[in-house]
Amino acid sequence: MSGVWGWFGGQSAQSRKDTPKNAILGLRSQLEMLQKRERHLQNQMDEQDAIARKNVSTNKNAARAALKRKKQHEHTLEQTSAQIATLEQQIYSIEAANINRETLAAMERAGEAMKQIHGKLNIDKVDETMEKLREQHALGEEIAQAITSAPIGEPIDETELDDELAELEQEQLDNKMLKTGTVPVSDEIHRLPAQPNGEIKGKAHAEEEDEEEELRKLQAEMAM
């Protein structure tokens, strides 16, 4: 009982951690010794079997003694093999138990780490934090709306803008009519530059002389 209670509370943490390792090392050392003994007994049995075969025809007493020793070695070998199997099972059990303990210890450390990370957090604090974030987000949206919608400088007269727009439209319409020739003739004449009266009369006189010259040529051709 003292060993059991020492395991749970009477030993230091390092000592408890080393106990399975030391136990496994001791069992493996004993297992190695038994395996060597197993090989030695097998060799002894083979040797006595060879002696019995050699003397079975010539010396039966020697052959019988050899078989007797072989049986003794065989019995010891069976006991040794059983001990080896028991030690192997114990080593496996201790290793499995040690793995389970280390796994549990790792899970406990993980739980403590999560506990420290969470600290004093609870669902109420989380809800409170999320509500503050939502409020700040809404405030930011209101500030952005106020900045983008507030007019800067003096207000612009919308009526004046409409008048300027109408003038631009009329100007474009006039230019289009001039290009397509749909402007009234009177308007076109007014837009043409005025010429001197003397120049107009000179051109008219020259045109009349050209017409008379053409008429005389035509009469001459008909007379022929």
| 135-144 tens-digit pLDDT | 999 999 888 8
With the CA atoms of 54, 60, 62 and 66 taken in that order, what torsion angle do they form, in degrees rounded to the nearest 10? 70
With the CA atoms of 154, 157, 163 and 167 taken in that order, what torsion angle do they form, in degrees rounded to the nearest 10? 10
* Residue found under tokens 């503050």: 132
pTM over 0.85: no
DSSP state of 150: S
Average pLDDT, the chain: 80
Give the pLDDT of residue 8. 44
**Distance, CA of 132 to CA of 125 (rounded, Å):** 11
Phi and psi at residue 63, to the nearest 5° = -65, -40
| pLDDT bracket for residue 7 (50, 70, 90) | very low
Of 207 and 30, more confident: 30
Give the pLDDT of residue 85. 95
Give the pLDDT of residue 4. 41
* Chain segment 30-67, per-residue pLDDT in tens: 999 999 999 999 999 999 999 999 898 889 899 999 99
**Distance, CA of 52 to CA of 67 (rounded, Å):** 6
Fold of 18-120: Helix Hairpins (1.10.287)
Structure tokens at 159: 């009526």
Structure tokens at 155: 């207000």
Domain boundaries defined on the chain: 18-120
Q: Which amino acid is at 47?
A: E
Give the pLDDT of residue 181. 64
* Chain segment 165-205, per-residue pLDDT in tens: 888 888 888 888 887 765 554 454 445 555 555 555 566 66
